[in-house]
Amino acid sequence: MKLQNKVAIITGAGSGIGKSTALIFAKEGAKVVVANRREDKGQNTVDEIKKQGGEAMFIKTDVSNWDDVSNMVERVVQSYGEVDILVNNAGVLRMGPLTEVNEDDWNYVLNINLKGVFYTMKKIIPLMIKQGKGKIINIASIAGLVGFEQIGPYCASKGGVIALTREAALEYAKNKININCIAPGVIRTEMTGMLEDEQTNSYYRLQTPYPRLGEGEDIGYAALYLASDESDFMTGQVMVVDGGWTIK
């Protein structure tokens, strides 16, 4: 098992990419901490992991709230003594023309998608420095690399995640902390409910050279590589998993 006895915190693991990643990590031997705002969703992920014989715990966490993040990390340390892996996956989306985006929507998206990444890294990196090693995987998006209409705050937040990943990777490489990010393409999740519309689904499939859209497991297995010892010499990189969208 690639993650045997490793302690992995995954934010937003109640559904979508986060849940798929949590299930894969657990199968590979990790002790998974599901940090999620919705208790029902988060507990469901924990229950599924336990049914397959894995170990997991749920901690209700709003990553945009510093006290929540601090409490979550402290509880993990109390339970397991360390944090080997952090996957910053929690994210939200608001759609609409940029000129119609209000300040509340802007702050909501940036606070969770970008400030949440900052908060968790700020809290966990000192622990990893003491441990002498650690893996951080930030889930960005190809929307941080190329333009998408109608999702300005989301694009800004994911571009920020990519830039913050590179900065932190450079700053803490000397501490043997590997900090990378994944830029998913169009992935079937609760967030991409618009894919239920046949016309929208067809459009995105036409934009993706590979003959299908992405699934949560596609990102989960990429995260597994970045969390494992196999990626020890890789840091500050953006792993694009998009079925070829950005190569056109």
Question: Which residues sit opposite 96 in a β-bridge?
Answer: 151
Residue 221 is a catalytic residue: no
Give residues with Cβ within 8 angstroms of 199, minimum separation 6. none
Instruction: Catalytic residue, from 80, 119, 154, 172: name it.
Output: 154
Q: Mind telling me the catalytic residues?
A: 154
